[in-house]
Amino acid sequence: MSKNFTIVEDIMNKTENEIKNIKPISILLIGKTGVGKSTLINNVFREKLADTGIGRPITKHLRRITKEGVPIVLYDTRGLELNNEAQKEGLKEIFDTLSQGDKISSTGKIHLAYYCVNATSSRIEPLELDLIKKLSTKIPVIVVLTQSIGDQSKELKKYIEELNLPVSGVINVMAQKFIISNEISIPPYGLDELIEMSFQIIPEEQKRAFNNAQQVDIERKAKSARSWASKYIATSFGVGFMPIPFSDASILVPMQLTLLAHITAIFGISMDKATITSMLAAVGGTGGATYAGRYIVSNLIKLIPGVGTIVGGMISGATASIMTTALALSYIEVLTVIAKGEKDGKYPDLKNIEQLMKEKLENRLKKSTDLLEENSSTKHKKWKFWK
Ligand SMILES: Nc1nc2c(ncn2[C@@H]2O[C@H](COP(=O)(O)OP(=O)(O)OP(=O)(O)O)[C@@H](O)[C@H]2O)c(=O)[nH]1
Ligand SMILES: [Mg+2]
């Protein structure tokens, strides 16, 4: 086993453990058959969960969808008809689950419901209104008007809002590009509003999980990763950091791997070994598979212009922090690119990932000398970096 492999494995294992520690969020998707619940799931959350997740039937009409590495539990109702005797049975199953909790897992509580209504039908039945009211006594409900096209969908929204239902909101969405003809299609919209509203409703404890699982607001992922990394680095290299000699640079490696793993877990992104290898290759130079852990740090240091003369052979807290900050921010930028691509079904190729990481990192480190000089007199200023 090469050293390189070990490092990649290490990041992956650490990330996995981090994700296991995130308290999952549970969301119920409910609405008549064919309105677009599965389409919504596949577009709001990463990994096309409705198609690729493990769906365990809880009851005839209720499926529990999960996937390893994504901290979310979805309860998806299926084939729910609301116009006959069968509906009574279906609804009883759902409410039993809501009040008794989920017997399969200890997750139990469901935090939020998306009640889906097809906006093209331009009406909502009395039975549905009853159901929404009843649901709202158990959990927060957002009414999602799926496949919203044109004025009639806006009117439906207005109509439902004026009923003053005890819901958190009514939102028009188009979850997936809707093709009308060769020339005309309606781009997806409204999902950002849905995410924003969901964030306001869910318990504080579930926000990390929700941010990890959603794929609509990528900037939000990046922001929370940056904010965590900035604190972690300030704590690690701030007051009390003893300068270490270059020859011991590898002391920093485990810390930086922890940092990358934690960022990956906050961000929530499907990454395989190959992707992580590519990003590390960017740090390790052109050798790719041959570099060892300690080269990461020495390569980073080499990229900071004149760093040796500034700190006289020792790695100070300032140097370590500049180096680690550059690593964290570049990594977050590359994850952002990957996540955006993934959302559009395009995964950037590995050579591009490596190149991108290299560029971002070199740019940041090259620009860092003035920061170093600026900060050498005043010990623990906030870095300009974090802007
Ligand atoms: N283009 C587009 N089509 C959609 C959208 N939502 C739903 N559809 C269409 O509606 C069909 C049914 O959507 P599903 O997501 O399977 O509906 P569902 O609510 O999961 O249905 P059941 O599982 O039977 O309850 C899909 O095959 C799509 O063709 C959307 O946002 N955009
Ligand atoms: Mg479905």
Residue 382's φ and ψ, nearest 5 degrees, are -75, 135
End-to-end CA distance of the chain: 40
Evaluate: CB of 185 within 6 angstroms of ligand 1.
no
pLDDT-derived band at 295, boundaries 50, 70, 90: low
Predicted pLDDT at 55: 79
Reported pTM: 0.88
Listed residue (351, 358, 312, 356) closest to 334, CA to CA:
356
Q: What angle do CA 380, 381, 385 make, to 5 degrees?
A: 120
Predicted pLDDT at 2: 46
- The answer to whether the CB of 310 falls within 8 A of the CB of 373 is yes
Residue 27's φ and ψ, nearest 5 degrees, are -130, 135
Residues with Cβ–ion distance below 5 A, ligand 2: 37-38
Taking each helix axis from N to C terminus, what angle separates 293-303 and 350-366, rounded to the nearest 10 degrees? 50
Q: What is the mean pLDDT of residues 177-186?
A: 92
**What are 314-359's pLDDT values in tens digits?**
788 888 888 899 999 999 999 999 999 888 888 778 888 999 998 9
Residue 141's φ and ψ, nearest 5 degrees, are -125, 135
Taking each helix axis from N to C terminus, what angle separates 218-237 and 252-267, rounded to the nearest 10 degrees? 160
Listed residue (182, 179, 199, 181) closest to 191, CA to CA:
199
Q: What is the mean pLDDT of residues 261-286?
A: 82
Judging by DSSP bridges, how do beta strands 112-118 and 25-31 pair with one another? parallel
Averaged pLDDT of the chain: 84
User: Above 90 in pLDDT, residue 225?
Assistant: yes
User: Above 60 in pLDDT, residue 384?
Assistant: no
* Interval between CA 34 and ligand 1 midpoint (Å): 5
Nearest CA to ligand 1 atom 31: 175
- Using CA atoms, how far residue 199 sits from 133, 168, 281, in Å, is 22, 12, 36
Evaluate: CB of 90 within 6 angstroms of ligand 1.
no
Q: What is the mean pLDDT of residues 84-113?
A: 71
pLDDT-derived band at 61, boundaries 50, 70, 90: confident
- Ranked by mean pLDDT, the top range of 71-80, 222-231, 342-351 is 222-231
**What are 128-139's pLDDT values in tens digits?**
999 999 999 989
Buried b (16+ CB within 10 A) or exposed e, 318-330: bbbbbbbbbbbbb
Predicted pLDDT at 238: 84
Nearest CA to ligand 1 atom 12: 34
User: Above 60 in pLDDT, residue 290?
Assistant: no
CA–CA distance, 143 with 180 (Å, rounded to integer): 25
Q: What is the mean pLDDT of residues 26-33?
A: 92
Burial class (CB in 10 A: 0-12, 13-18, 19+), 57: exposed
* Interval between CA 275 and ligand 1 midpoint (Å): 32
Task: Please count the residues of the chain.
Answer: 387
CA–CA distance, 25 with 15 (Å, rounded to integer): 18
- The answer to whether the CB of 178 falls within 8 A of the CB of 153 is no
In sequence order, which residues have a C-beta less than 8 Å from that of residue 278 and are 6 or more positions away? 350, 351, 353, 354, 357
For residue 290 the two structure tokens come to: 């041959």
* Interval between CA 76 and ligand 2 midpoint (Å): 7
User: Which range, of 134-143, 198-207, 310-319, averages the lowest pLDDT?
Assistant: 310-319
Q: What is the mean pLDDT of residues 7-26?
A: 90
| 3-class DSSP assignment, residue 287 | helix
**What are 154-180's pLDDT values in tens digits?**
999 999 999 999 999 999 999 999 998
User: Above 50 in pLDDT, residue 371?
Assistant: yes
- CA quadruple 9, 10, 12, 16: dihedral positive or negative? positive
For residue 70 the two structure tokens come to: 């994504």
- The answer to whether the CB of 75 falls within 8 A of the CB of 28 is yes
Evaluate: CB of 107 within 6 angstroms of ligand 1.
no
- The answer to whether the CB of 94 falls within 8 A of the CB of 122 is no
Predicted pLDDT at 289: 39
The DSSP 8-state label assigned to residue 61 in this structure reads S
Evaluate: CB of 48 within 6 angstroms of ligand 1.
no
| Neighbour tally for 48: CB within 10 Å | 15
DSSP lists the bridge partners of residue 25 as 72
* Interval between CA 198 and ligand 2 midpoint (Å): 21
CA–CA distance, 145 with 128 (Å, rounded to integer): 13
Quote the percentage of the chain above a pLDDT of 70. 84
pLDDT-derived band at 288, boundaries 50, 70, 90: very low
* Interval between CA 327 and ligand 2 midpoint (Å): 41
User: Above 80 in pLDDT, residue 250?
Assistant: no
- The answer to whether the CB of 214 falls within 8 A of the CB of 25 is no
CA–CA distance, 198 with 206 (Å, rounded to integer): 11
User: Above 60 in pLDDT, residue 22?
Assistant: yes
Q: Let me know how many helices (H) and strands (E) the chain has, helices first.
A: 16, 11
Evaluate: CB of 178 within 6 angstroms of ligand 1.
yes
